[in-house]
Amino acid sequence: MEIPPVGATSSPLSHDIEVGAIRRFAQALGLTYAPFYDTVAAQAAGYRDVVAPPTFVITLNGALIPGLALPDAGLIHGEQSFRYGVPVVAHDVITVVSTLIDVKSRGPLTFLTVETKGSNQHQEEAFVSESTIIAREEILP
């Protein structure tokens, strides 16, 4: 199977942000900032509701990019970056779209860069992440 062309984009995929998921994520990281757990504390800090830690957005995956079928094993996560917009808070609906933005081959390695954008129910950008995945030639379909 071939890798799709640069610009191939997933369908939008929406995520309902649950307060429990935010709390569990913050707890797993050992974070103690009260607005990650408590609505009153979050509102006192200027948020609409319990706010998600910035890296919570890593849990918000996009739908599959058509034609990009990667194996379950043998991939290397090469790089990850985030740019943040409005905070993600409990009860938001974050819609995520992923786009293949770059493909480079270097010998037996293929570097795939995927940009993932998430916007809330008010069409405000919440985040943009960029991930580089490295695949060895022998594992590509």
User: Which range of residues forms the domain containing residue 71?
Assistant: 13-18+53-139
Give domain status of residue 38, yes or no: no
Number of H helices, E strands in the chain: 2, 5
The count of structural domains within the chain is 1
Measured between alpha carbons, how far is 136 from 76 in angstroms, rounded to an integer? Answer: 9
Give domain status of residue 120, yes or no: yes
Give domain status of residue 81, yes or no: yes
Give domain status of residue 5, yes or no: no
pLDDT of residue 141: 53
Q: DSSP letters along 21-71, please?
A: HHHHHHHHTT---GGGT-HHHHHHTT-SSSBPPGGGGGG-PPPPPTT----
Q: Could you tell me if residue 122 is left (phi over 0), alpha (psi between -120 and 50 degrees) or otherwise beta?
A: alpha
Do residues 132 and 113 lie in contact, with contact meaning Cβ atoms separated by under 8 Å?
yes
Going residue by residue through the chain, which has 141 residues, state the pLDDT in tens, using 9 for 90 and above: 368 999 999 999 999 999 999 999 999 999 999 999 999 999 999 999 999 999 999 999 989 999 998 877 778 999 999 999 999 999 999 999 999 999 999 888 899 999 999 999 999 999 999 999 998 876 555
Give domain status of residue 1, yes or no: no
- Burial code (b: 16+ CB inside 10 Å, e: under 16) for 18-36 equals ebeebbebbeeeeeeeebb
Q: How many Cβ atoms sit within 10 Å of the Cβ of residue 59?
A: 12
pLDDT of residue 74: 79
Residues in the chain: 141
pLDDT of residue 71: 76
Give domain status of residue 23, yes or no: no
135, burial (CB in 10 Å: exposed 0-12, middle 13-18, buried 19+): buried
The CATH number of residue 134's host domain is 3.10.129.10
Give domain status of residue 71, yes or no: yes
Single pTM value for the model? 0.90
Give domain status of residue 27, yes or no: no
